[in-house]
Amino acid sequence: MEKLEQLYEGKAKRVFATNDPELLIVDYKDDATAFNGLKKGTISGKGVINNQMSNRLMQKLEKAGIPTHFVRELSERETLVKRVAIVPLEVIVRNIAAGSFSKRYGMEEGVVFEQPTIEFSYKNDALGDPLLNTLHARALGLATDTEIEQIKCYAFRINEILKAFWAECGVTLVDFKLEFGRLPDGTIVLADEISPDTCRLWDTKTHEKLDKDRFRRDLGGVEDAYAEIMKRLVEHDAT
Ligand code: UDP
């Protein structure tokens, strides 16, 4: 597979064309941002962990029947993925109140919901990724009703699969963000990444944060937390 010109550079990844028009190469960086790019930094080794973790989780999801963009891991930081048109929605699934949910609705962090909940925001940096409902998404022409139903259904199934998996690693899946894309034939697949950058992951016993909140909130031990969560995954898969 030939790595051709860079098509796009995001906050945490670069995307390259390949000699196959249907495939792209994603290259993970150590750069970290938070608060819509206001806070910037580096988390040493993050690119390797996020690449490898996202790939392992996507392969588990594929096995469980969720279609994803994953094709093949090429190196520590590089992965071959299917080219998709990203649906400009950030899909957030929550099991426990935290972050913007706690702030917006005045519910203390750590309250466990009776049932998982979901929200969407419009993936638009210039507007600060505003929260929207599915009827707004339809009015804006971001996705069709059928696509939104499919995305919601996948998102809740992904939550059940990942929650159960992380529980086996002694980790509580608090919340996470997903992005979906359309293949050329219109099929919806899971895209982007699933990593400590995009999930809240708490040690089940100690409630220690093992995710990007350590960076966002200046809690220290950021690199150690990423290494610890990756270790839990690798050890789980080895047994
Ligand atoms: N999230 C993300 N990208 C974003 C916003 C949120 O990956 O642009 C993830 C975040 O890591 C967390 C979940 O989505 O696991 C819910 O985030 P929240 O809405 O609470 O926002 P935050 O408190 O991070 O601003």
* Among 93, 100, 124, residue to substitute to test ligand 1 (most atoms within 8 Å of Cβ): 100
- Mean pLDDT for the chain overall: 98
CA–CA distance, 210 with 212 (Å, rounded to integer): 7
- 3-82 and 85-238, same CATH topology: no
pLDDT band at 1 (very low <50, low <70, confident <90, very high): confident
Distance 195 CA to ligand 1 centre (A): 12
Task: Give the mean pLDDT of 46-53.
Answer: 98
Task: Give the mean pLDDT of 44-51.
Answer: 98
Distance 18 CA to ligand 1 centre (A): 31
Half-sphere exposure of 20 (CA within 13 A, CB side): 10
Distance 104 CA to ligand 1 centre (A): 13
Residue 226 beta carbon below 6 angstroms from any ligand 1 atom: no
Alpha carbon nearest to ligand 1 atom 23, residue: 99
Residue 209 beta carbon below 6 angstroms from any ligand 1 atom: no
pLDDT band at 212 (very low <50, low <70, confident <90, very high): very high
Residue 100 beta carbon below 6 angstroms from any ligand 1 atom: yes
> What is the pTM (predicted TM-score) of this model?
0.97
pLDDT band at 8 (very low <50, low <70, confident <90, very high): very high
CA–CA distance, 23 with 223 (Å, rounded to integer): 31
Q: What digits encode the pLDDT tens for the residues 69-95?
A: 999 999 999 999 999 999 999 999 999
Say if residues 68 and 61 touch (Cβ distance below 8 Å). Answer: yes
Residue 162 beta carbon below 6 angstroms from any ligand 1 atom: no
Q: What digits encode the pLDDT tens for the residues 100-111?
A: 999 999 999 999
Res 219: pLDDT: 98
Distance 154 CA to ligand 1 centre (A): 19
Q: Exposure string (b/e) for 103-126, b if CB count within 10 Å is 16 or more?
A: eeeeeeeeeeeeebebbbbbbeee
Residue 147 beta carbon below 6 angstroms from any ligand 1 atom: no
* Among 13, 46, 92, residue to substitute to test ligand 1 (most atoms within 8 Å of Cβ): 92
Question: Which numbered atom of ligand 1 lies nearest the CA of 197?
Answer: 11
Residue 36 has pLDDT above 90, yes or no: no
Question: Six-digit token pair at 116?
Answer: 């998982």
Alpha carbon nearest to ligand 1 atom 24, residue: 99
Which has the higher per-residue pLDDT, 228 or 239?
Answer: 228
Alpha carbon nearest to ligand 1 atom 2, residue: 198
CA–CA distance, 14 with 228 (Å, rounded to integer): 25
Residue 17 has pLDDT above 90, yes or no: yes
Alpha carbon nearest to ligand 1 atom 13, residue: 176
Q: 85-238 — its CATH code?
A: 3.30.470.20
Residue 34 has pLDDT above 90, yes or no: yes
Residue 185 has pLDDT above 90, yes or no: yes
Q: Which fold has domain 3-82?
A: Phosphorylase Kinase; domain 1 (3.30.200)
Domain ranges of the chain: 3-82, 85-238
pLDDT band at 42 (very low <50, low <70, confident <90, very high): very high
Res 230: pLDDT: 98
Res 218: pLDDT: 97
Res 98: pLDDT: 98
